[in-house]
Chain A
Amino acid sequence: MTGGGGLQGEQFNRLFTLFMGITGFFYVLVIVGMLAGIAIRGRAAGTERGERLARTALLGWIAAVVLGLTVLTVGSYASERRVSAAIPARPPLEVQITANQWWWDITYKNAVPANELRTANELHLPVGVPVKVTLKSNDVIHSFWIPSLAGKQDLIPGRVNDLLLLPTRTGQFRGQCAEFCGTQHAHMALDVTVEPVASFRRWQQAQLAPAAPPSTPLAQAGHDLVMSQQCASCHAIAGTPASARFGPDLTHLASRRSIAAGTLPMTRGHLYAWIADPQGVKPGNNMPYIGFDSAKLHAVVAYLQGLK
């Protein structure tokens, strides 16, 4: 069963309850009928009264089955209608999610390319606004699943899938890859925040800004290292020369809630742990062990921490 944070989830729960109620009723009916049969059989077998009873029971049974199936059919049709009526053909918000081993690349589509927002491993959604989610994969099959909002949908390399979401309740939810995709499949989570429209807009504006320039000499040294070392061959930081797309976008890294797709909470210590040895934290992931000495490590972390 899914939690009720989204329209599909709620409808699903309602259908599930209906289904449980009707099947439970029939379960009890069969058992009661059987017990009654055993009790009556001995006394009424062969008599005219017994035969009348059997005929009535059969008719009652057929009527109950027809009624039960009708209620189920009407119920599922009605909830299908509710979902499709609530979501317009062209939802106002479109998000493209590309799965990679083992992280999520997130782009908020916009007709104006400059207003396209790119982030990673976190999804912010305005409450009550229908969202079209386009799903792609860069390597193997993954599956997109936010249990509180809706059911699963696969991300398949070379294909585009989509999913419609309508969050109905604000809160923090967890998304998770739901199709085994390699060693670090378990560490492929997605932080989902459903918030009021106004704060979503604020978040969007903040994310569209280029990266904050380094504010201390240490952070400046870190900036220079990130630009001149391996980091820039894999990561993009808007407003700097780093523009590669092999790893997650780091423009507003420090504003996220976790590191490496939910592997570690976002804290200074965990940033150190991640940069010092990503393979120790998440063995087999595609960010290599680089081997900074402590001075460089301090500088790089100081810079990353400033990327609010």
Chain B
Amino acid sequence: MSSRCRARLAALAALALLSACDREERQSRAQPVPETLPTPRQSILQPGVPARTAADPRARAYENNSYQMSQGQLLYQKMNCSGCHAHGGGGMGPALSDAEWRYGGSMEEIVATIDQGRPNGMPSWRGKLTEQQMWQLAAYVRSLSAQPRQDVLSSRPDAPSSTEPATLQSRQPVVPSSPAGVQGTSR
């Protein structure tokens, strides 16, 4: 091997090593909000019409970030979501770790559910949580059914629970929300 060739190989190896240096950004602060009152949002949910929420670029950003998901898990316990939904298995509120969604299981739809509340007993968290926190919660809620990428799942243990860690669960398909589900009549 010529010395030029060796030098090139060394440079390539160094480049390959550099690519492993991509560290996750920890964003502790969402974008500042403008000093104006937000316009009131109205639920677009109507009987017979599937819940549709515009795609939001934040969805991917939050869902692919371990830190955000881990914060979501912290809030899930601290805000007592677990009081109604248990650790995903459901209680007074529906299970969140199954593949069924009454109001849709995308990041945007879950944020809308948390923000607006839902008629059969899900309180609205608007003004009680920041938007950033709702996105963090949505990312964690999706991890309960192993939707997000496996390598970003939170390693924080679910308090006193003996369920298998999310990192060991298998990926499940997303089931699109159905109008029938909205009325709670599916199956």
- Interface 9-residue window, one of A204-212, A253-261, A285-293: A285-293
Q: Is A47 an interface residue (CB 8 A)?
A: no
- Which chain A residue shows the least CB distance to B37? A293
B127 and A228 form a contact (CB under 8 A): yes
Contact partners of B33 in chain A: CB under 8 A? 291
Instruction: Evaluate whether A279 and B128 lie within 8 angstroms (CB atoms) in the complex, with A233-B79, A246-B78 already known.
Output: no
Give Cα A133 to B35, complex, Å: 46
Q: Is A229 an interface residue (CB 8 A)?
A: yes
User: Which size bracket describes the interface of A in this complex?
Assistant: 20 to 34
Determine the main DSSP class of B at the interface with A: loop
Contact partners of A285 in chain B: CB under 8 A? 28
Contact partners of A246 in chain B: CB under 8 A? 78-79
- Interface 9-residue window, one of B57-65, B89-97, B129-137: B129-137
For A228, A289, A290, A294, the residue with the greatest tally of chain B CB atoms inside 10 Å of its CB is A289
Give Cα A293 to B33, complex, Å: 9
Q: Which of B28, B32, B160 contacts A283 (CB 8 A)?
A: B28
* B160-175, CB < 8 A from A: 160
A230 and B132 form a contact (CB under 8 A): no
Q: Is A284 an interface residue (CB 8 A)?
A: yes
Q: Which of B26, B79, B130 contacts A290 (CB 8 A)?
A: B130
For A183, A228, A230, A288, the residue with the greatest tally of chain B CB atoms inside 10 Å of its CB is A288
Q: A182 to nearest B CB, angstroms? A: 11
Q: Is B30 an interface residue (CB 8 A)?
A: yes
A289 and B29 form a contact (CB under 8 A): yes
* B17-43, CB < 8 A from A: 26, 28-30, 32-33, 35
Q: A250 to nearest B CB, angstroms? A: 16
Q: Is A280 an interface residue (CB 8 A)?
A: yes
Q: A208 to nearest B CB, angstroms? A: 26
Contact partners of B132 in chain A: CB under 8 A? 288-289
B130 and A288 form a contact (CB under 8 A): yes
Give Cα A183 to B27, complex, Å: 13
Q: Is A162 an interface residue (CB 8 A)?
A: no
Give Cα A90 to B45, complex, Å: 61
Q: Which of B74, B130, B160 contacts A230 (CB 8 A)?
A: B130
Give Cα A79 to B32, complex, Å: 58
Q: Is A94 an interface residue (CB 8 A)?
A: no
B127 and A280 form a contact (CB under 8 A): no
* B92-141, CB < 8 A from A: 127-130, 132-133
Q: A74 to nearest B CB, angstroms? A: 47
- Which chain A residue shows the least CB distance to B75? A246
Q: Is A179 an interface residue (CB 8 A)?
A: no
* A248-305, CB < 8 A from B: 277, 279-280, 283-286, 288-291, 293-294
User: Can you name 15 A-B pairs with beta carbons within 8 Å?
Assistant: A139-B74, A229-B127, A230-B127, A230-B128, A230-B129, A233-B79, A280-B29, A283-B28, A283-B29, A285-B28, A288-B130, A289-B30, A291-B130, A293-B35, A294-B35
Point out residues on B near A: beta carbons under 8 Å: 26, 28-30, 32-33, 35, 71, 74, 78-79, 127-130, 132-133, 160
Which 7 residue pairs across A and B have the least CB separation, nearest first? A279-B29, A291-B33, A293-B35, A289-B29, A246-B78, A233-B128, A279-B28
